[in-house]
Amino acid sequence: MMLPAVFADDDLAQRFVAGLDDVLAPILNVLDCLDTYFDPALTPVDFAEWLSIWVGAETDGIESEARLRAAVAAAAALHRVRGTRQGLSEAVRLAFGTAPEITESGGATWSARPRGPVPGSPRPHLHVALQLAEPTPADTHRLDTLVAAARPAHMPYTVTVTAAERTLES
């Protein structure tokens, strides 16, 4: 540490400043590497968990480290498509590792004549079906919670989690 000339030969000042170096070194180290703390691929796992809360990632605390990092990395893009079929499908895929089958009652059409038929069903509804290798009741609750958060706000919904069919390999 460089001190003014008056303190350069003072033993007490030198020892005091050396003690401050030990206290400040971890803080300076974090500040030097601050950009890596906000990169989901490089940040420590405990900071990635905090970052998932900060960016509003759809996590529940039991996912693997790889899924946690993927959810944090995708959070901003998912917020842009939240409430859409694409956003719901991607949120479920990130949480469970497999894409769901989504059925909705709405539709869109174009007609050159007024009073044309209205597409879809008159009652709005959303159904999300997910096939997992070994489903548990906790998976159904987790899917229900995820769909409730990521669906369009006005849309009633149902969810089902079933076992995926296994194929025999010879």
Q: Is-contact 100 92, C-beta < 8 A?
A: yes
* Residue 95 CB neighbour total at 10 angstroms: 24
In this predicted structure, what is the pLDDT of residue 109? 80
Mean of all residue pLDDT scores within the chain: 88
Mind listing the pLDDT tens digit for each residue in 137-159? 999 999 999 999 888 888 899 99
> Phi, psi at residue 110, to the nearest 5°?
-130, 140
Q: 39: Cβ–Cβ under 8 A, 6 or more apart, which residues?
A: none
DSSP string, 72-135: HHHHHHHHHTTTSHHHHHHHHHHHHSSPPEEEES------SSTTPPPPS-SS--EEEEEEESS-
pLDDT at 48 over 90: yes
Q: Residue 60 and residue 142: Cα distance in Å, rounded?
A: 8
In this predicted structure, what is the pLDDT of residue 30? 84
In this predicted structure, what is the pLDDT of residue 83? 87
pLDDT classification of 39: cutoffs 50, 70, 90: very high
Q: Residue 76 and residue 69: Cα distance in Å, rounded?
A: 13
What's the CATH fold of domain 83-111+119-170? GMP Synthetase; Chain A, domain 3 (3.30.300)
Structure tokens given for 134:
């070994």
Mind listing the pLDDT tens digit for each residue in 63-121? 889 989 999 999 989 999 988 899 999 999 988 989 999 999 887 788 888 887 778 88
In this predicted structure, what is the pLDDT of residue 167? 67
Domain ranges of the chain: 9-80, 83-111+119-170
pLDDT at 41 over 60: yes
pTM: 0.69
Which residue, 94, 107, 103, is CA-closest to 151?
Answer: 103
